[in-house]
Chain A
Amino acid sequence: AQSVTQLDSQVPVFEEAPVELRCNYSSSVSVYLFWYVQYPNQGLQLLLKYLSGSTLVESINGFEAEFNKSQTSFHLRKPSVHISDTAEYFCAVRYNQAGTALIFGKGTTLSVSS
């Protein structure tokens, strides 16, 4: 079955430290990849997406993710985090030959402290 695995349920880091949130998906067939963020008491917001083209995609607030087809991964990185980045992050995949539904991972809680 198609699935998405987020390897870390919780990631605690100090402010200004680098962070990587890992995401792997189960199949290497044609996919679209997404990271969504959910801030406390807010809804899901799209952070960044990979549809085609350059395998490195960036968000407006300094996050980036790289599509690695051979490793079926789409890890999220930020070189220096802020307290305001504290949130839950969800990796999602759409398998293009399996309809339009997004398949989500279980989420990673990023906690940034000073």
Chain B
Amino acid sequence: GAGVSQTPSNKVTEKGKYVELRCDPISGHTALYWYRQSLGQGPEFLIYFQGTGAADDSGLPNDRFFAVRPEGSVSTLKIQRTERGDSAVYLCASSISRRDTQYFGPGTRLTVL
């Protein structure tokens, strides 16, 4: 079956601009996660959704970052007033429920110039 998909695969933007990154989880997976992977590092947790609600957003670095999942399926990660330090690969993962294996998408590479 189809895996987790993310769009766009690459995004180049200028400092100060607003960006949206989209994640389409595996069908039927109620849990959805966003992670950020900086160069030379492992993925770092940003936010977890159970259904439509953000059950844990403790990993969001500041209030410029926000994510939604209005219908309990597709999620959008939104970054306002982007900074060069936001450049990274943003990964989305989903699982059947919160205690099950997380399956990752291919990521969106964000470059802030």
Which residues of A are at the interface with B, using a C-beta cutoff of 8 A? 4, 6, 34, 36, 42-46, 49, 90, 92, 99-107
In the complex, the answer to whether B103 meets A46 with C-beta atoms within 8 Å is: yes
- Shortest distance from the beta carbon of B100 to any chain A beta carbon, whole Å: 9
Chain A nearest CB: distance from B7 CB in Å? Answer: 13
Residues of B contacting A: mostly: loop
Interface residues of B (CB under 8 A from A): 31, 33, 35, 40-45, 48, 55-56, 58-59, 91, 98-99, 101-107
Whether B107 contacts A105 by the Cβ 8 Å rule is no
In the assembled complex, the Cα of A44 lies from the Cα of B105 at a distance in Å of: 7
Query: Cβ of A102: which chain B residues have Cβ within 8 Å of it?
Result: 33, 35, 43, 45, 102
Query: Whole-angstrom distance between the alpha carbons of A45 and B104 in the complex?
Result: 7
CB distance from A94 to the nearest CB of B (A): 9
A102 to B48, alpha carbons, bound, how many Å?
Answer: 11
| Nearest-CB residue, chain B, relative to A34 | B101
B101–A49 touching, CB < 8 Å: yes
Given A44-B91, A106-B41, verify A100-B31 contact (CB < 8 Å). yes
Known contacts A46-B101, A104-B42, A107-B42, A99 near B48 by CB under 8 Å: yes
In the assembled complex, which residues on chain B have CB atoms less than 8 Å from the CB atom of A104? 35, 42-44
Q: How far does the Cβ of B72 sit from chain A's closest Cβ, in whole Å?
A: 16
| Smallest CB separation, A23 vs chain B (Å) | 11
CB contacts (< 8 Å) of B33 on chain A: these are 100-102
| Further 11 A-B residue pairs, CB within 8 A, beyond A100-B33, A102-B45, A106-B40 | A4-B42, A44-B104, A46-B101, A90-B43, A100-B56, A100-B98, A101-B45, A101-B48, A101-B56, A101-B59, A102-B33
